[in-house]
Chains A and B, each alone.
Chain A
């Protein structure tokens, strides 16, 4: 099974609402990263949070990391139609030269 698993697989909300996506992982990490992918495009980095950090903010994005539960969440506040995309978490594994991506959450913002 995947190292990083996003939940839910798909999420549809109204513009202006908040969107929360979760990522769970199995082994110890050095860092956890979130990426966005618009349809037909490459991935764009959003936030990197290191294993000794608990929370990071970037504009309307808030990422939390709970290493005891091996989980992270990405919160997008006041969603916009332009936030419609797939969102991936990627875990930088401790002791390994690897960044492992989850399968992604497909977010749809309805106007």
Chain B
């Protein structure tokens, strides 16, 4: 049982490049989330998907787009990367929303030069 799987684990981009972070969960969870973690800032919510077919903005959505491809997969896209997007990105899932515990992936460390 893999839980939440994120790819890639590390990525270096140049300013202006685009990329997609992939996330998949095998726990049949309804809700999925993307967070970023910066030193001294805790985790901040970028986007979330309460259920298949829905997506909503979180605290820091600017510069990102998401796709809930199916119940298992939730991807995060950076269309034109900026140095301010250098961060560690975490995908998470839960059975049904914020009242349940979250299961996290191992993270993607992204550097934008």
From the candidates A44, A45, A92, A103, name the one contacting B42 in the complex (CB within 8 A): A103
Cβ-defined contact, B101 with A92, below 8 A: no
**Is B102 among interface residues, defined by CB-CB distance under 8 A?**
yes
Chain B residues in 8 Å Cβ range of A25: none
Total interface residues on B, using CB and 8 Å? 25
How many angstroms from the CA of A62 to the CA of B44 in the assembled complex?
A: 26
**Is B90 among interface residues, defined by CB-CB distance under 8 A?**
yes
Cβ-defined contact, A92 with B103, below 8 A: no
Chain A contact residues: helix, strand, loop or mixed: strand
**Is A71 among interface residues, defined by CB-CB distance under 8 A?**
no
- Contact bitstring A64-94, B, C-beta under 8 A = 1, else 0: 0000000000000000000000001010110
Cβ-defined contact, A43 with B98, below 8 A: no
**Is A98 among interface residues, defined by CB-CB distance under 8 A?**
yes
Chain B residues in 8 Å Cβ range of A103: 40-42
Cβ-defined contact, B101 with A42, below 8 A: no
B residues near A (Cβ < 8 Å) are 4, 35, 40-45, 48, 50, 56, 58, 90, 92, 97-107
